[in-house]
């Protein structure tokens, strides 16, 4: 029997230490390591995926820009956005990367359907959309058979921050949020609903763990610096 996925709520955390912790968790996985979901909210940050081009950061202003190791282009994280990180043994799960991306898309679409919002994925522009406007971003990395990164849903963020970039590399791409669509849900309600939909999409049970994993303060690794802009 496949064990449940452990769910941790990290609260609001800086992006870089959480990203480093995901890398360390994945590097240290063993055959018996439990899968985990991390719910988190980040202070304002732009992350630039491995396919990302700096030209798609139009005017970062005071918001830091961090090149990261997920797929995709540039996206924004900030307060009012639910971020769900999926730390999954994909071989044990029996899923390829494409199937995992589809499961993340289905997670958001099913959650929004429960709120009465019809949404769709697009083959030409990864993410989930409502009436042509992007409401959720997706990005993954699979390393040594383990996934990390995940999805981000706009609950009530500052949508003006997206005007500082070409979201996911698309000039003029419209973005929206639950708040803009007239849906009043809290961050916690959205995080719980998304997590349950993700477990359903994966065919897994979940275990809510009250203590958050230890996330150390960020510090540059040897030979590495921090990128900002």
Looking up residue 111, the CATH number of its domain turns out to be 3.30.930.10
Is 77 known to sit in a ligand binding site? yes
* Mean pLDDT value across residues 85-104: 95
pLDDT digits (tens, 9 = 90+) for 132-176: 999 999 999 999 899 999 999 999 999 999 999 888 777 888 999
Q: Is the pLDDT of residue 223 over 70?
A: no
- The answer to whether residue 34 is domain-embedded is yes
* Mean pLDDT value across residues 15-36: 95
pLDDT digits (tens, 9 = 90+) for 30-74: 999 999 999 999 999 999 888 777 888 888 999 999 999 998 888
**Domain interval for residue 25:** 5-208
Average pLDDT along the chain: 90
- The answer to whether residue 161 is domain-embedded is yes
pLDDT digits (tens, 9 = 90+) for 104-122: 999 999 999 999 999 999 9
- The answer to whether residue 31 is domain-embedded is yes
Q: Is the pLDDT of residue 23 over 50?
A: yes
Q: Is the pLDDT of residue 212 over 80?
A: no
Is 227 known to sit in a ligand binding site? no
Whether the CB-CB separation of 74 and 66 falls below 8 Å is answered with: no
- The answer to whether residue 48 is domain-embedded is yes
Q: DSSP assignment of the chain, as one string?
A: -PPPEEEEEEEE--HHHHHHHHHHHHHT--TTPPPEEEEEE-SSEEEE-TT--GGGB---TTS-EEE-SSSSSEEEE-TTEEEEEEE-BHHHHT--HHHHHHHHHHHHHHHHHHTT---EE-SSS-SEEETTEEEEEEEEEEETTEEEEEEEEESS--GGGGGGB-GGG-TT--B--TTTTT----HHHHHHHHHHHHHHHHT--EEE-SSPPP-PPP-PPTT------
Is 161 known to sit in a ligand binding site? no
Is 75 known to sit in a ligand binding site? yes
Q: Is the pLDDT of residue 192 over 90?
A: yes
Q: Is the pLDDT of residue 226 over 70?
A: no
Q: Is the pLDDT of residue 225 over 50?
A: no
Catalytically active residues, by annotation: 168
Q: Is the pLDDT of residue 14 over 80?
A: yes
What percentage of the chain exceeds 90 in pLDDT? 75
- The answer to whether residue 217 is domain-embedded is no
- The answer to whether residue 186 is domain-embedded is yes
- The answer to whether residue 223 is domain-embedded is no
Q: Is the pLDDT of residue 4 over 70?
A: yes
Query: Residues 216, 208, 82, 140: is their CA dihedral positive or negative?
Result: positive
Is 33 known to sit in a ligand binding site? no
- The answer to whether residue 199 is domain-embedded is yes
Choice between 149 and 229, residue whose per-residue pLDDT is larger: 149
Is 142 known to sit in a ligand binding site? no
Name the domain count of the chain: 1
């Amino acid at each position: 029997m496949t064990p449940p996925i452990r769910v941790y709520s990290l609260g609001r955390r800086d992006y870089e230490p959480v990203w480093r912790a995901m890398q360390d968790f994945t590097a240290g996985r063993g055959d018996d390591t439990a899968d985990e979901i991390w719910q988190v909210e980040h202070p304002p940050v732009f992350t630039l995926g491995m396919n990302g081009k700096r030209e798609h950061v139009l005017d970062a202003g005071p918001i830091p820009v961090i090149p990261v190791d997920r797929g995709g282009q540039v996206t924004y994280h900030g307060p009012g956005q639910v971020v769900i990180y999926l730390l999954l043994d994909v071989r044990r799960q029996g899923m390829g990367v494409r199937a995992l991306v589809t499961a993340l898309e289905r997670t958001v679409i099913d959650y929004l359907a429960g709120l009465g919002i019809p949404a769709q994925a697009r083959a030409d522009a990864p993410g989930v959309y409502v009436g042509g406007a992007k409401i959720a971003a997706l990005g993954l990395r699979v390393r040594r058979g383990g996934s990390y990164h995940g999805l981000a849903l706009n609950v009530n963020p500052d949508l003006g921050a997206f005007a500082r970039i070409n979201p996911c590399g698309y000039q003029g791409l419209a973005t929206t949020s639950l708040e803009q669509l007239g849906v009043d849900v809290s961050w916690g309600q959205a995080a719980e609903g998304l997590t349950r939909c993700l477990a359903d999409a994966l065919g897994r049970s979940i275990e809510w763990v009250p203590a958050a994993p230890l996330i150390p303060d960020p510090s540059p690794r040897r030979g590495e610096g921090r990128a900002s802009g």
